[in-house]
């Protein structure tokens, strides 16, 4: 009887030590999710933005009591430019380069959102630049192949938005 109990004790000991790979992966994912849910403090966000040269201010939301950080962004209006005489092939090529430029700006963290307007007006689209200065946003916007070709021109304005609020 003692040998049988000892056998089951050893069996359970060894079976407990080795977790199935799925369970181990699941625990790893859960730990990662918990880690990702921890948000930085308002103080640390403000310090980082100020260190990087961004203009900010904050206020207390009366309804929630939360501190809301407002950050200055730069909104670039992409307007019809003076040179719109390109052939269809040239315009298509410029459009591909333009989209590549905007994708690069987003990937590198300089632009948060871009998109065309749905009408055929003089203002063709916008890009919101997440840069500390208007000069930097203007420089990046003017690197766009559509702007360089004269097909589009840029008009930039400072714009304030609550840091971290999503579009709805």
Domains, the chain, in order of start with CATH, read 72-162 (3.30.70.1060)
Task: Say how far apart CA 72 and CA 129 lie, in whole Å.
Answer: 10
Q: What is residue 168's predicted lDDT score, i.e. its pLDDT?
A: 83
DSSP code of 35? H
Contacts of 127 (CB under 8 A, 6+ apart): 75, 76, 78, 102, 105, 111, 113, 114, 141
Each of the 168 residues of the chain gets a pLDDT tens digit; together they read 444 344 444 434 444 444 444 555 555 555 556 556 788 899 999 999 999 999 999 999 999 999 999 999 999 999 999 999 999 999 999 999 999 999 999 999 999 999 999 999 999 999 999 999 999 999 999 999 999 999 999 999 999 999 988 888
Nearest partner of 146 among 97, 77, 75, 87, judged by Cα: 97
Contacts by residues 45-49 (CB-CB < 8 Å, ≥ 24 positions apart): 45/69, 45/163, 45/164, 49/163
pTM of full prediction above 0.85: no
User: How far is residue 45's CA from residue 71's CA, in Å, rounded to a whole number?
Assistant: 11
């Amino acid at each position: 009887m003692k040998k049988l109990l000892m056998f089951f004790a050893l069996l359970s000991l060894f079976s407990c030590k080795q977790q199935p790979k799925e369970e181990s992966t699941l625990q790893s994912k859960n730990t990662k999710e918990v880690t990702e849910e921890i948000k930085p403090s308002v103080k640390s966000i403000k310090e980082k933005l100020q260190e990087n040269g961004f203009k900010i201010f904050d206020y207390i939301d009366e309804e929630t009591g939360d501190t809301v950080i407002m950050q200055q962004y730069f909104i670039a209006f992409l307007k019809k430019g003076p040179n719109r005489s390109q052939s269809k092939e040239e315009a298509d090529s410029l459009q591909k380069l333009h989209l590549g430029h905007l994708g690069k700006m987003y990937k590198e963290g300089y632009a948060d959102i871009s998109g065309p307007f749905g009408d055929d007006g003089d203002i063709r689209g916008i890009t919101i630049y997440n840069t500390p200065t208007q000069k930097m946003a203007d420089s990046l916007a003017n690197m766009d192949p559509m702007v360089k070709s004269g097909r589009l021109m840029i008009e930039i304005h400072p714009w304030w938005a609550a840091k971290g609020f999503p579009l709805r």
